[in-house]
C-alpha cells in the first residue's frame, strides 16, 4: 500500500532529469507539473531554465505534456512560450488527466514519467496511472498552509523511502501495483 506513494526517483531539480537517464529506463514521454516543479508558484512565465530543459528534451525525441491542477489562466500563460499540450484543473491525483495526456502523446503508461513536486498529487496519481514517477524537490518554500501540512507527511514518507532504498524499493513498488 505504501509503495503507491513512493516516487521511483527523487531529484533536486529538473536539471538532474537527463535524456540518458530516461532512455535507459524506457521512458519516451514526460508529464510535467508546473508549480514548484518547473517554476515557483508566483512565477507566471516559463524561464530560460525551463525553456532550455524542455528544448533539450524535445531535441532528444521526448514527448512533453503539462498536467497541472492550476487554473486555465495560469496554465495557458505559462505555456505560451512552451506551446505544449496542457491540461489545466487536472484534479490530480485523479488518474484521468494523466491517462488523457498519455493518449495525446500516443504512449503507453509504462513509457511515461510523471515529474512533480508533490507526493499526494503527482506521485500518487502517476503511480496509480501505472507511470514512472519522479519527485522533484519543491523550488519555492513559501507555500500555503495546506501544502505545508502535506509536506510534513511527505517528509515522513521520504524518510522511509531512504530507509527502504537499501531493501529495494522498486520491488516493493511492483508488488503493490502488480
Window of 23-31, 34-42, 76-84, 85-93 that interacts with Mg ion by CB under 5 A:
34-42
Q: Cβ closer to Mg ion: 35 or 154?
A: 35
Q: Rule CB under 5 A: is residue 154 a binding residue for Mg ion?
A: no
Cell numbers given for 172? 516493493
Q: Cβ closer to Mg ion: 1 or 152?
A: 152
**Site mask for Mg ion (CB under 5 A), range 114-133, x = bound:** ---x----------------
Of positions 8, 33, 127, 161, contacts Mg ion by CB under 5 A: 33
CB of 74 to Mg ion, least distance (A): 12
Cell numbers given for 72? 486555465
CB of 2 to Mg ion, least distance (A): 22
Opening angle at CA 177, ends 175 and 178, nearest 5: 65
Nearest to 138 by CA among 50, 18, 9, 10: 10
CA distance 8 to 169: 8
114 in Cβ contact with 134 (< 8 Å)? yes
CB of 158 to Mg ion, least distance (A): 16
Exposed, middle or buried: residue 68 (CB in 10 Å: 0-12, 13-18, 19+)?
buried
Nearest to 123 by CA among 152, 164, 95, 159: 95
CB of 72 to Mg ion, least distance (A): 17
Q: Cβ closer to Mg ion: 125 or 178?
A: 125
Interacting residue ranges for Mg ion, rule: CB under 5 A: 33, 35-37, 117
Amino acid at each position: 500500500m505504501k509503495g503507491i506513494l513512493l516516487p521511483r526517483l527523487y531529484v533536486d531539480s529538473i536539471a538532474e532529469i537527463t535524456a540518458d537517464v530516461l532512455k535507459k529506463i524506457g521512458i519516451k514521454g514526460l508529464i510535467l507539473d508546473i508549480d514548484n516543479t518547473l517554476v515557483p508558484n508566483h512565477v507566471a512565465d516559463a524561464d530560460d531554465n525551463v525553456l532550455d530543459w524542455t528544448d533539450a528534451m524535445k531535441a532528444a525525441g521526448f514527448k512533453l505534456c503539462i498536467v497541472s491542477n492550476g487554473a486555465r489562466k495560469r496554465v495557458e500563460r505559462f505555456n505560451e512560450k512552451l506551446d505544449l499540450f496542457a491540461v489545466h484543473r487536472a484534479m490530480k491525483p485523479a488518474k484521468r488527466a494523466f491517462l488523457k495526456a498519455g493518449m495525446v502523446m500516443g504512449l503507453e503508461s509504462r513509457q511515461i514519467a510523471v515529474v512533480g513536486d508533490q507526493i499526494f498529487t503527482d506521485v500518487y496519481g502517476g503511480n496509480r496511472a501505472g507511470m514512472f514517477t519522479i519527485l522533484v524537490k519543491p523550488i519555492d518554500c513559501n507555500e500555503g498552509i495546506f501544502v505545508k501540512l502535506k509536506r510534513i507527511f511527505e517528509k515522513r514518507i521520504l524518510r522511509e523511502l531512504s530507509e527502504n532504498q537499501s531493501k529495494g524499493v522498486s520491488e516493493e513498488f511492483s508488488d503493490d501495483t502488480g
